[in-house]
Chain A
């Protein structure tokens, strides 16, 4: 392990100031991904600033029936919090389907959003990876890429975004609240995750030293039913091959409002706006669900081993919609 220095800070201002002032420094929260990446030299900070003492662990109810979740709240704390279960079951479900109980007890909400891809080439410093080392190429493109993305890819990178929580947040139009040297700002979550394009190393709009302090989660649409459906090889403790966050409101057999987001198949938590547009105002039928799913996946690009994900994503969308539709499949 590369030699590093470590310090612990007690307030947000000091945390932001310390990391902003030192380009070779990084925040340390739960550390469940970061310490791994440090040990395998994928991330190489010289200084870690431990933020676990910051008062960012509260979960509050907002007047709009939404929630404010502190960035240092642990995954399990959030998933099991009565307000979250009551107001945002989608978030609770997504969290509980992620990682393992041990990891969920350590991992923070802010860290969850900033976790790096599980692409094995990204994690192997001897291989080409534009995300890790820009300009070196992408070993995954023609490599072992069964787990890789089919949506939002570029010729630079096909790494999948691993978070389940982020998929739920994208479906709910959450906001990421960050504090930096220039003060506090709110970033709509759909602008927070950046597709790789020509700069796969740039994954979010935060400045160096800018810290996620809260996540604000608006309520799901009135009268909607929501579900997080995750498909994977084994029953637990695995990243999604495909996942769907859905909130659906049907009246008189017609889709009044639908929120749909995909995980496991895209380079970012993927809001399925094409499918949403196609479904809204249409009869809630399996046929329409399938047509909307196909529409959403139309731009998908398969690479070698991951072609099955296109079909899998379509079927997972249909299954999720059927499950929350009032009369099930029709």
Chain B
């Protein structure tokens, strides 16, 4: 029997999702439910001078209007720590409606609760709030002169400055230098399901939160801290989540506000953000500028890299997405300086967004590498191969696994890269200039720091339930975990049911940083392995078993039947044994303790991206004609859903490169295009032929199954591959994302 892992199992929740029977957090039916509507400040820098809620309070169906004047104070403010740490994980070091200050537009200033959503929405328009406003600061241009160098960024996880070797000497001695500035528009996540929390307190003060989140425990611990309620009194349910892309990686205030509102009105309350509020309530990718200088020998071997980033953060957090990390390790060079600089503005704290940092940093790095390749007359793929590193350049440790060379070679082969004429503007088909480009991809392998748990139980009929508190936010985690459980226990896939989605289950850390499959599979694998050992132990100890007295290590299990490896006829099924022994079920816990950060290995996932574009330079149109992505993500659990995730990542990259930008109206300090009609993401008609492949690597460091994850590596490098293809097509070097029609019109025709 072939293993389930690595197969192509269709999503087990697919039918429920497409038929509408899957219940999302905003759809859970609850009797006596009331609805809360948030009011966001229409101004970005202000003090609230007066609130008049009289008319709203008298409006039909209204149960309460909460503002900073009557909302209870939070019990404490947990510090900003990425949810991967497994602790309370507020999206920012701030809780709204605690005082009269408005730090950014859209900041929650009131919550209106009514018996229906429509009545709450209407009453929200009747709340009068007066502001004393000051001109806001919201653009990089406005903060660049006051920028500072933070001690730490990214929730304290990373230093603000990293160096190795001697950058000045390295650049001075380089035979070739490429220096450029790269600009990035702000991006928003825009999952289809806006964040929604439904809160219900019971008569003895226990709270249930139905929340769309990447990890139920993070909501539980964060709400517990804010509310001053023990976590044991809070149950979080997150069965289905309609996409996240990082917007639900952290716990933003609306979840706690829903609980506060429910407590205030003495009824269950549902609080759903609307689309516009999704642009101001759960973070974004910050507007940023990167200054990159490469120094190389004449043969293209890099000797020095200086990479500085300037970005905007909020008044209360030193947040920058870690754009400098992957470029710092992707190639082997001795001299490096990476510095983050931040400026504070009237914006919300940025957050994780689709390969946070890697997607932007690698655009700069790989665009510059393309320039270097052209300058020294070396093929772009060859230039990367010359610079591949067998060790982590930051530490000198070997990679846990790499596969970068194989990805480059396999990608070039699949794409048909060989024989490419490097000169720009050589191919034309009608009105279209055709170009090709490539880039490498790298994504750090993040690990949870706390134990990851799962529970496996087999019933005497042979059916198996495996549980772990993961969220299903579109990745196919439940399907993949079914495969892991089936293989580990030696049963068929249809004997296993995997369940996740609430905090009653064994704890798994939020699935962020592409670490979800690795963490969950480790815990599930250990749980079913423990269960299997327990069952085999029962058999060999049982005088009535054909396996009595056998060495447990000599027993194999397939299709739910235990048998001696050497004598397959000697054996019995789990079910036969349990029924004979009158045992209704057997259960085991898997408890995976992730390796410490310093494991003596560099841990990254690598890949290679190739793209072909057509550019109608007269009309400014850029259309991606085909893409090839090859990745080395370690063990692939479910080939079908992994393929979908990697392809989806590549299409995110297409959006980042050509379409996605949130534009600030600097006068008001408000995002000017906070809707899906105005914030463009690719549609099917934009999506080209996408070829996804993986190369196998031997990976036994990161976790028991060697799973590095496929959540985000797919987007990394896409922007540079497309940008380089645009250069190849037109001779125009784009250094600003997104590459807009207007740019092509003015630059490339």
For A217-254 the 0/1 string (1 means CB < 8 A from B) is 00000000000000111111111010000000000000
Task: Given the known inter-chain contacts A1-B118, A234-B685, please indicate yes or no for A126 contacting B42, CB distance below 8 A.
Answer: yes
Task: List residues of chain B with CB within 8 A of the CB of A143.
Answer: 665, 667, 672
A120 contacts across to B, CB distance below 8 A: 672-673, 675, 678
- Point out the residues of chain A lying under 8 angstroms from B418, CB to CB: none
CB distance from A305 to the nearest CB of B (A): 8
What string of 1s and 0s marks CB contacts (under 8 Å) between A109-128 and chain B? 00000000010100100110
Majority DSSP secondary structure for residues of A touching B: loop
Per-residue contact bits, chain B 664-703, to A (CB 8 Å; 1 contact, 0 not):
1101100011010110101111100000000000000000
Q: Is A144 a contact of B673 with CB atoms below 8 Å?
A: yes
Which of A118, A120, A231 has the most C-beta atoms of chain B within 10 angstroms of its own C-beta? A120
- A6 at interface, CB cutoff 8 A: no
What's the least CB distance linking B640 to chain A, in Å? 27
Q: Tell me the complex Cα distance, A118–B686, Å.
A: 22
Chain B positions within 8 Å of A233 at CB level: 658-659, 680, 740-741
Residues in B with CB closer than 8 Å to A234 are 658-659, 680, 682-683, 685-686
> Which listed segment binds B: A20-28, A153-161, A170-178, A312-320?
A312-320
Query: How far, in Å, is B730 (CB) from chain A's closest CB?
Result: 15
User: Total interface residues on B, using CB and 8 Å?
Assistant: 35
A300 to chain B, nearest CB (A): 15
Residue pair A237, B683 in contact (C-beta under 8 Å): yes
List the B residue with the shortest CB-CB distance to A235.
B685
CA distance A233 to B661 in the complex (A): 12
User: Are the CB atoms of A236 and B42 closer together than 8 Å?
Assistant: no
- Cβ of B623: which chain A residues have Cβ within 8 Å of it? 235
A183 is an interface residue with CB less than 8 A from chain B? no
A142–B672 CB distance below 8 A: no
The residues of A that contact B665 with a CB separation of less than 8 Å are: 139, 143-144
Instruction: Determine how close the nearest CB of chain A comes to the CB of B676; give it in whole angstroms.
Output: 10
Q: Which residues of B contact A58 (CB under 8 A)?
A: none
Contact status of A144 and B125, CB under 8 A, knowing A3-B60, A238-B680, A319-B618: no
Interface flag for B151 (CB, 8 Å): no
In the complex, whether B534 has a CB less than 8 A from a CB of chain A is no
For A237, the closest partner residue in chain B by CB is: B683
Is A142 a contact partner of B667 (Cβ separation < 8 A)? yes
Mask, A1-16, CB within 8 Å of B = 1, is 1110000000000000
Report if A207 contacts B (CB, 8 A): no
Q: How far is the CA of A3 from the CA of B121 in the complex (A)?
A: 10
Query: 1/0 per position for A256-296, CB-CB distance to B under 8 A?
Result: 00000000000000000000000000000000000000000
- Interface pair B125/A41, CB less than 8 Å apart: yes
Q: In the complex, what residue of chain B is closest to A309 when comparing beta carbons?
A: B742
Which of the residues A1, A127, A238, A311 comes within 8 Å of B668, measured between beta carbons? A127
Distance A312 CA – B618 CA, assembled complex (angstroms): 8
Q: Complex: how many Å from CA A146 to CA B673?
A: 11
Chain A residues within an 8 Å CB radius of B60: 3
Give the CA-CA distance A123 to B125 in the complex, in Å.
Answer: 15
> Which B residues are CB-close (under 8 A) to A319?
431, 618-619
- Name the one of B122, B673, B742, B745 contacting A2, with C-beta atoms under 8 angstroms: B122
Q: Is B746 close to A, CB under 8 A?
A: yes
B125 to chain A, nearest CB (A): 6
Residues of A within 8 A of B (CB-CB), count: 31
Residues from chain A with a CB closer than 8 A to the CB of B675 are 120, 123
Report the minimum CB–CB distance from A309 to chain B (whole Å).
Answer: 9
- Whether B742 contacts A308 by the Cβ 8 Å rule is yes
Cross-chain contact of B619 among A118, A144, A239, A315 (Cβ < 8 A): A315
Q: How far is the CB of A133 from chain B (nearest CB, A)?
A: 15
Residues of A within 8 A of B427 (CB): none
B317 to chain A, nearest CB (A): 26
The interface bits of chain B over 613-634 (1 if a CB of A lies within 8 angstroms of the residue's CB, else 0) are 0000011110100000000000
Measured CA separation A132–B149 after assembly (Å): 45
Within 8 A of A (CB), among B595-642: 618-621, 623
- The reply to whether B619 and A236 form a contact with Cβ atoms under 8 Å apart is no
A238–B658 Cα gap in the complex (Å)? 14
B667 touches A241 (CB 8 A): no
A1:B121 contact, CB within 8 angstroms:
yes
Residues in chain A near residue B685, CB distance under 8 A: 234-237
Name A239's closest neighbour in chain B (CB-CB). B677
How close is A36's CB to chain B, nearest CB, in angstroms? 9
Interface residues of B in 110-162 (CB under 8 A from A): 118, 121-122, 125
| CB within 8 Å for A241 and B741 given contacts A234-B682, A312-B620 | yes
Whether B742 contacts A146 by the Cβ 8 Å rule is yes
Q: Interface 1/0s, chain B 466-494, versus A by CB < 8 A?
A: 00000000000000000000000000000
Nearest residue in B to A118 (C-beta to C-beta)?
B677
Q: How far is the CA of A142 from the CA of B522 in the complex (A)?
A: 55
Q: Is B663 an interface residue (CB 8 A)?
A: yes
Q: Name which of A127, A142, A233, A235 has the most chain B CB atoms within 10 A of its CB.
A: A233
A316–B682 CA distance with the chains assembled, in angstroms = 23
CB distance from A294 to the nearest CB of B (A): 15
Residues of A within 8 A of B746 (CB): 308, 311
* Chain B residue nearest in CB terms to A39: B121
The distance in angstroms between the C-alpha atoms of A239 and B665, with both chains bound, is: 21
B620 touches A3 (CB 8 A): no
Interface string of A292-330 (1 = CB under 8 A from B): 000000000000000010011001100100000000000
Query: Interface digits, A185-229 against B, CB 8 Å rule (1 contact, 0 not)?
Result: 000000000000000000000000000000000000000000000
Instruction: Supply 10 further A-B pairs (C-beta < 8 A) apart from A139-B668, A231-B741, A311-B745.
Output: A118-B677, A118-B678, A123-B675, A139-B665, A143-B672, A231-B620, A234-B683, A236-B685, A315-B618, A319-B431
A sample of 26 cross-chain residue pairs with beta-carbon separation below 8 angstroms, ordered by A number, consists of: A2-B125, A39-B121, A120-B672, A120-B673, A120-B675, A120-B678, A123-B675, A143-B667, A143-B672, A144-B664, A144-B665, A146-B742, A233-B658, A234-B680, A234-B685, A235-B685, A236-B686, A239-B677, A241-B741, A308-B742, A308-B746, A312-B620, A315-B618, A315-B619, A316-B619, A319-B619
